[in-house]
Structure 1
Amino acid sequence: MNIPVVTVGAAAGDHVAGLEKLRGPVTVVRRCEELSELMAACQSGLARAAIFAPGAGELTLTMLERLRGAGVAVVVLTDGSPQPHLDQLGVRTAPSSIPPEELAAVVSSAVENLAAQPVGQGPAAGYSDPAAALQPVRTEEGAQPDTRGGGTVIAVWGPAGSPGRTTVAVNMTAELAAAGTEVLLIDADTYGASVAASLGLFDESAGLAQACRLADQGAFGATELARVITTVAVQGGRLGVLTGITRPDRWPELRPAALARVLDNARSRAAVTIIDCGFCLESDEELSFDTAAPRRNGAALRSLELADTILAVGAADALGVPRLVRALAELREAVPSAVPRVVFNKVRASSIGRSPEHQLREAWDRFGSLHRIAAFLPADFAAADKALLGGSALVETSPSSPLRAAIAELADVPVEQRRRRRVGAGDNEVKFWRKPVSLPR
């Protein structure tokens, strides 16, 4: 088997002559001066392996995913000191002093291992453990997902037109947190991140961008995740938040490969992780570049691919219903394995007519959608405005709101019930108690 190799870094030149003298299958076809040159050579199909020498530049998770996606195995030469970030990235390493015949054997082994990996799994997607597959867990609609040894990931998504994705995501998270569930809210919207504003957080650090940057560098774990999370107190409970990007032009910081690593760590930390996704699923920007292009919608697509449950939120009006139908068709094309649960928001008679839920069901049946309606969320603009103005959730600002009750039901959280007195309580003191909480279906 012939294995063409490209190298980068001045120190790699010391090994070229030795590999050529072996006259074996490993052959150096190009010595690159910069990482951009190496990436272009690999993505053109010139090589099957790449050797990184010390001083060549930083090897990131995103770069590694692109190389492995192009069928190129990676070997990094080191000075012999521990390289924990390379271990996290799942990269094959070798000492710089390695003899040519041993280096050839390492390169051959790396190529064979890459070829043996299923597409979309393990190190091919940036994971050091092949068992940590990036394939989403899918079940029949309405069934409880079988999570991969950790928490549940729920993606809240919907078409353009402000159907209420953030409102649903924030308040579902708040209901779960108030009920005692360990929950994490992630703002992955690359067009209009608004979770921080909805919760009254004056955050300029963009927690998700920080997490993705660390994950891309191979320096991300439970400790780093805890450091970038903002904790918010809600009705006696606490929820963690990874705030979104502070400006839309920062979208390249949310790289899909790094986001996948963040979500993998989120599963280990929280029982439920809820992602507020951007609306757009287009990926045509890849067609405009000779090499792998940045993908503004990559964060939304990767979130939907990895989610155990997808809530497709649409506005309950004459514009929102057909928009949701078209968006679901786009979702089916972009993420064929997705089985979304439809949520109609802002349900009211003034936009639909008498018996709005009945009208919506009939309209949905006429459109011939195969996806069932999971919830109808009634319009309560006064309560929603009050929560937004107060930078809080409905459970705190409007606990008796019908919208709050519907979102709690969607999250499978029993609405809190009040007990008027307890030992030592004053006449006006109220104590809340809740039943045990099951995870969202």
Structure 2
Amino acid sequence: MSIPVVTVGQAQEDIVGGLERLHGPVTVVRRCAELAELLAACQSGLARAAVVADGCEELTASLVDRLGAVGVAIIALTDNPDEASRLRGIGVPSAVLGVEAATLAARISEAVAQLVGRQPGHPAAGLADPAAALRPVPAASEDVPAASGTGRIIAVWGPAGSPGRTLVAANMAGELAAEGKSVLLVDADSYGASIAAVLGLLDESAGLAQACRLADQGMLDADALLRIAAAVATRLGTFRVLTGITRADRWTELRAAALSLVLERAREIADVVVVDTGFCLEADEEISFDTMAPRRNAATLRTLELADTVYAVGSADPVGVPRLVRGLAELELAVPNVSPVVVMNKVRAGAVGRAPERQLRDAWDRYGPAAEISAFLPADGPAADSALLGGSLLLEVAPESKLRAAIAELVCASVQQKRRSSVFSSTARRRLKG
């Protein structure tokens, strides 16, 4: 069966003629004058592949991926080695402008075959903004430990309300840094990004948005990500931070395809990448009239898909527990392969009665969710308030806090041993005492 192809560019006459003379693997169904026309043709379902001979510099990771989502593979033609390298970085195979028709047809067939066999978790997002006006923010990173290049991603998620996602995520990053890990903390909450405020970072430069723009253009490498990330020093260790969007209406800057590339680079520069996500898991597909439009919750969904470990944080009270139960059911539908680590936060007798852990386990059994509660984080309002007031972490303002100890045990045992334990590593115990 022949593959329908649309083309665009000054060299399209030679391309079209050569492909049509093959009378076989591909068929040119439309010759487009510009890239916008090609995109419209692809969205209409006219083609399975697109050959871009002119205007390939306008291709971005998000655009390519959205075309992939509607079943269209892209081949770019360029004689510029640097442009070919950039295109490879955003997932676009390329060939020289004078490529033989048979070779081009084979490349098209290969690209379509790869697209058909793509895994469901592959990036998907909308059109992105250009990165011409970016000004990477340098970070003092000499004190940050070097990474192994094969970092793990931890996602901290929780349902609507205030279960304490950001507090948990920020302190996880601090505890891992205190253990000597190279850590990158990412604020991917598209509704209420607050990592910068929690850490007392006055210059909110929307580091994640900067990184996403560079990634979308195929210009984000490890060095660029290191320049953008801000360094946060504590008395026990230093970690890096990609701050979130400064206003909720900037959510369109967090496109899923670009975020996927950012997280891929993040694995290279950090042993552990801790991502604070938004609460909403709605896919938005049914309410969007434009298949190329960005998705409000794409950053959260993509992070959960790519994460090695997902912590589902709920508030331990009569409102928070049923919210978490419903949220876990939504999480299973939205990201079927995830196996969340359930964490009850703000555990206190005043909210659930005497012996709060037993009360919560009994309530959990009555609700009947598949996932069991893995950890309880005690409420410690004074310590949390002091940390927030000082723009700091628990390990600095309340090193003896039971909440700090519970977070350290949860995340350090998970990363180092991949199992829960009531005993810290010797390093963790020494640092808690320090």
Superposition TM-score tier, normalisation by shorter sequence = 0.7 to 0.9
Conservation of the 8 A alpha-carbon contact between 1:230 and 1:242: yes
Distance in 1, Cα, partners of 2:431 & 2:222: 30
Match of 2:167 in 1: 167
Please show how residues 2-21 of structure 1 align to structure 2 within 5 Å: 2-21=2-21
Q: TM-score, normalised by structure 2?
A: 0.85
> Gaps (5+ residues) in structure 1?
126-147, 419-431, 436-441
Match of 2:230 in 1: 230
Relative distance call for 1:412 and 1:111 in structure 2 (3 A) is closer
Conservation of the 8 A alpha-carbon contact between 2:62 and 2:124: no
Deviations 1:275-310 (A, max 9, x none): 100000001345431424311101100111111111
Deviations 1:204-226 (A, max 9, x none): 32111111111111122211111
Match of 1:64 in 2: 64
Conservation of the 8 A alpha-carbon contact between 2:178 and 2:431: no
Distance in 2, Cα, partners of 1:149 & 1:199: 26
The structural deviation recorded for 1:416 is 10
The structural deviation recorded for 1:124 is 9.4
The structural deviation recorded for 1:57 is 5.0
> Does residue 97 in structure 1 map to residue 62 in structure 2?
no
Distance in 2, Cα, partners of 1:90 & 1:157: 29
Deviations 1:14-52 (A, max 9, x none): 433443344444222112234343223223321121011
Amino acid at match of 1:297: N
The structural deviation recorded for 1:103 is 3.2
Conservation of the 8 A alpha-carbon contact between 2:343 and 2:375: yes
Question: Match of 1:396, SS?
Answer: helix
Distance in 2, Cα, partners of 1:101 & 1:172: 54
Distance in 1, Cα, partners of 2:323 & 2:388: 25
Q: TM-score, normalised by structure 1?
A: 0.84
Higher mean C-alpha deviation, range 398-407 or range 12-21: 12-21
Match of 1:177 in 2: 177
Match of 1:244 in 2: 244
The structural deviation recorded for 1:253 is 1.0
RMSD, aligned α-carbons: 2.5
Please show how residues 69-88 of structure 1 align to structure 2 within 5 Å: 69-83=69-83, 84-88=85-89
> Does residue 401 in structure 1 map to residue 406 in structure 2?
no
Conservation of the 8 A alpha-carbon contact between 2:186 and 2:275: yes
Distance in 1, Cα, partners of 2:298 & 2:224: 23
Conservation of the 8 A alpha-carbon contact between 2:149 and 2:271: no
Distance in 1, Cα, partners of 2:103 & 2:271: 46
Aligned residues: 399
Relative distance call for 1:173 and 1:82 in structure 2 (3 A) is closer
Relative distance call for 1:284 and 1:114 in structure 2 (3 A) is closer
Distance in 1, Cα, partners of 2:37 & 2:157: 38
Match of 1:314 in 2: 314
Distance in 2, Cα, partners of 1:415 & 1:388: 26
Distance in 2, Cα, partners of 1:399 & 1:55: 56
Distance in 1, Cα, partners of 2:278 & 2:24: 50
Match of 1:111 in 2: 112
Conservation of the 8 A alpha-carbon contact between 1:171 and 1:393: yes
Match of 1:208 in 2: 208
Please show how residues 310-349 of structure 1 align to structure 2 within 5 Å: 310-349=310-349
Higher mean C-alpha deviation, range 84-93 or range 337-346: 84-93
